[in-house]
Chain A
Amino acid sequence: AQKVTQAQTEISVVEKEDVTLDCVYETRDTTYYLFWYKQPPSGELVFLIRRNSFDEQNEISGRYSWNFQKSTSSFNFTITASQVVDSAVYFCALSEPTGANNLFFGTGTRLTVIP
């Protein structure tokens, strides 16, 4: 069965600090997809990244970067030089390879960036 664990419930950092959000997943499938979503106070989930299980390249997008390691079943997310606008709840999610849009979400990490 699929499972996503985000051990960090809440994190507070001071603006401009770097912060890493951890995500560990479990699945028996060899093909799967991993996602990160951001949920600001408005409640709408915002897509950040999708990665398939065959692509272990790290990715950088501006101040965001992702480190995917199949050997440790982890898909960690780093924000460099954090800003107050980064304050939100961040969710890691895992998708079945069956062609359905069924996302298994972690419990989320609430990030607070203090000015």
Chain B
Amino acid sequence: KAGVTQTPRYLIKTRGQQVTLSCSPISGHRSVSWYQQTPGQGLQFLFEYFSETQRNKGNFPGRFSGRQFSNSRSEMNVSTLELGDSALYLCASSSLAGPLNEQFFGPGTRLTVL
């Protein structure tokens, strides 16, 4: 099985712009979660989607949003980018929602905001 894929792998944007990141889960997986990793804050949960519905959301401003399509692929969008949004954004997929189901992580998208 192919693993979780994330595109693009690297991205450079300027303040005020918006960005869309994509995540393709492992085939058959219906749950997709997003995490932000920064040197200062570490790994923080952004949100989780299951069957096109947002199940859970972390403590991030409304500039961070996401969606999931019927084929389980997910996108996350960040509007009005700030310097502090520079981070590695990781996507994880699992077959079902819930901690009993192992999450498989993708390689991440490294976003740099100038």
Total cross-chain contacts (CB, 8 A): 71
* With A101-B99, A106-B42: A45-B58 Cβ-Cβ less than 8 Å: no
In this complex, how many residues of chain B approach chain A with their Cβ under 8 Å: the count is 28
- Complex alpha-carbon distance, A47 and B56, angstroms: 21
Q: Are B42 and A44 in contact (CB under 8 A)?
A: no
Q: Name B's interface SS.
A: strand
In this complex, how many residues of chain A approach chain B with their Cβ under 8 Å: the count is 25
Q: Is the CB of B107 within 8 A of A100?
A: no
Closest B residue to A91 by CB, please name it: B43
Q: Which residues of A contact B56 (CB under 8 A)?
A: 98, 100-102
Shortest beta-carbon distance, B92 to chain A, in Å? 7
What are 12 A-B interface contacts by the 8 Å CB criterion?
A: A33-B99, A44-B105, A45-B92, A47-B102, A47-B104, A50-B99, A99-B97, A100-B55, A100-B97, A102-B48, A103-B103, A108-B42
Further contacts, 13 of them, CB under 8 A, given A99-B99, A104-B45, A107-B42: A33-B100, A43-B88, A44-B106, A46-B105, A47-B104, A50-B100, A100-B48, A100-B97, A100-B99, A101-B92, A103-B35, A105-B35, A106-B42
